[in-house]
Structure formats: C-alpha cells, structure tokens
Amino acid sequence: MRPRDFLGARIGLDDLFGASRVSLLGEKLSQATTTAERFSHMRTFLLSNLRPRETESVVSQAAALLQRDPCLRVRQLAARLDVSERHSCRDFSGMFGMGPKQFARIARIERVLSARAQGATWTDIAHATGFTDQAHMNKDFTAIVGVSPTELAIN
C-alpha cells in the first residue's frame, strides 16, 4: 500500500505487532517508574520488531539522487534509473504525494537554507544552487516556503 492510502486512517499497535506483544509492552510500561525506563521499554520493543531492510526501491533511489542533485531533470532521472518518465512520476507521487520535480524544488530550497546558514550571500547562493538568477531563487523560495528569503529573516 502507499502512504496516501493511510491518510486519516487509525491503525492500532495490535494491527501492526499483534495483541500479545502489545499487551506485554503495556504491562512493562505500566510497571515502569521513570520516563527513562518507559523509553527503554519502547526502544527495546521497536528494535525487536524491526524488519530486515528491503532492497532500496526505485523511488528511494530517485529521492536520493534528487537530494544530491536537485537540478536533475525528470528525463535524466528516469534514464539513470532505467525506468520511464511516466512510471517514475507515478510511483514518486504515490510515495511522496508530489512529483519528482516538486521534490527537487524543495531539495533546492533546503540547499538555499543551508548555504545561507553558512553565511553565503543571496547572489552566491542562487548561483551555487543552480538558479538562473536571484529573482528566480526568490520566486521559487516564496512559492514553497510562503515567504521570501529576506522575510524569513535568515541572517
């Protein structure tokens, strides 16, 4: 199932881990006397119920590539992963609720924020993050964040 299929759904721990395991956890939590002890029980429970990591999906690979290089075009991304553009967009939207282009735009804005936190000038940031100019960066930033970079008061 895709994450959006669970939007608004309530899923109990019993459904995920089984009633007996959850009941045992509940007993341990109720007997714990400190917050640290409760966290320890929760951590142990979650770690003991981890599944082995599955092979990284094409969508996960696409997301990693876009985070490393947000200037990648969808066509280039699909070619690197040996899938069709349509397939990559559909699967990406199913997992993240947005297409790879929007994901890449957000990744670029994350880079803008990181570069500004390191003291770079807006002009240098625009150039370094692949925008054609500072105005284009400001427009994308405002569209995604809701305020301009200067309104966000990043010093």
Per-residue pLDDT of 13-59, as tens digits, reads: 888 888 999 999 999 999 999 999 999 999 999 888 887 655 568 88
Q: Provide the 8-state DSSP code for 4.
A: G
Distance CA 117, CA 128 (A): 14
Would you say residue 152 lies in a domain?
no
Same domain, 95 and 108: no
- Residue 86 CB coordination number (10 Å): 10
- Residues 59-83: pLDDT tens digits? 899 999 999 999 999 999 999 999 9
DSSP 8-state secondary structure symbol assigned to residue 6 = G
Instruction: Tell me: do 110 and 137 sit in the same domain.
Output: yes
What share of the chain has pLDDT > 90, as a percent? 57
Q: How far from 82 is each of 8, 43, 75, 94, CA to CA, in Å?
A: 34, 39, 10, 19
pTM score > 0.75 for this model? no
138 in any annotated domain: yes
Q: Name the band, by pLDDT with cuts 50, 70 and 90, for residue 3.
A: low
Of the ranges 13-22, 89-98, 106-115, which is most confident? 106-115
Task: Assess whether 62 and 96 both reside in one domain.
Answer: yes
Q: If you ran DSSP here, which 8-state letter would residue 83 be given?
A: S
Q: Looking at the domain assignment, is residue 153 inside a domain?
A: no
The predicted pLDDT at position 2 comes to 63
Number of domains observed in the structure of the chain = 3
Q: Would residue 8 be called left, alpha or beta, if left means φ above 0 and alpha means ψ between -120 and 50 degrees? A: left
In a domain, 3, yes or no: no
- Expressed as residue numbers, the domain containing 76 is 58-101
Q: Residue 22 domain-assigned?
A: yes
